[in-house]
Amino acid sequence: MQKIISYPISIVYYLLFLLWLVLFHPIQWVCYNLFGYNAHRWSVTILNWFLVRNTQILGTTYKFIGREKLPKNVPLIIVANHQSLYDIPAIIWFMRAWHPKFISKKELGKGIPSVSYNLRVGGSALIDRKDPKQALPEIKKVAELVNNNNYSVVIFPEGTRSRTGVPKTFSINGLKMLHKFAPDAYFAPVSISNSWKMQRYGQFPMGLGNRITFEVHEPLKISDYSFDEIFEKTENIIKNNIKQ
């Protein structure tokens, strides 16, 4: 029954979703080219407020726990499991104070209004997962940007999102580069639960009435751990706190 009800609601949802992306594309361009980084950042933040609120049409609610644990004015490496594309607007909005950048696949850098533009000019890394010679220098660049400016970078070390909520094995390479080239940063583990239910039927129709939880855990200072120690600790914390 929910799936049948979701068809007309999903049509309205997608029309508004596209509206916000198309509307904010020129706004981003103007902000970035005429007013600089901070104006562009706030245009992206406001866009993602609209995208988060747009999901309320589907009955979606969000619970973001633990942001008070995160230090201010220090670089952060936000490490999270990945369940759907709806993880991203919520992180941008609810963690806006930390200037989040993303490690993203290069295909997203073209063809998507607002999203592609932000990834290209906003400080994120666009990587080819099959080409380490291209990917690793891009990750190094964003690590140095984050370390030098006290920003944050978001990485989903599973690589591809879990469509069932069960986390996949974490990949080492991206985290190792961030660990090496952002030595002043903290790893900030985040467990995401129930986001996958937004797309339980695929891209269409959307899942209804989902309660999505983001739980931020105690940050881990890079200088206090070897890479192997902080990697294992981060992966275990995240996976042990995902609500199935």
Structural domain boundaries in the chain:
2-240
pLDDT at 202: 87
pLDDT at 149: 96
Whole-number Å distance between alpha carbons of 124 and 138: 9
Q: Is residue 20 predicted with pLDDT exceeding 90?
A: yes
pLDDT at 95: 96
Q: Count the neighbouring beta carbons within 10 Å of the beta carbon of residue 111.
A: 8
The tokens for 173 are 């390479």
Q: Is residue 133 predicted with pLDDT exceeding 90?
A: no
Q: Which long-range contacts (CB under 8 A, 24 or more apart) does 85-88 make?
A: 85/161, 86/55, 86/60, 86/195, 86/198, 86/199, 86/212, 87/156, 87/161, 87/192, 87/195, 88/48, 88/154
- Please give the residue that has the higher pLDDT: either 59 or 2: 59
Mean pLDDT across 81-94 = 96
pLDDT at 165: 83
Span 2-240: which CATH code? Answer: 3.40.1130
Confidence of residue 238 (pLDDT cuts 50, 70, 90): very high
Could you report the per-residue pLDDT of 43-80, keeping only the tens digit for each?
Answer: 999 999 999 999 999 999 999 999 999 999 999 999 99
pLDDT at 112: 95
Give the global pTM: 0.94
pLDDT at 162: 80
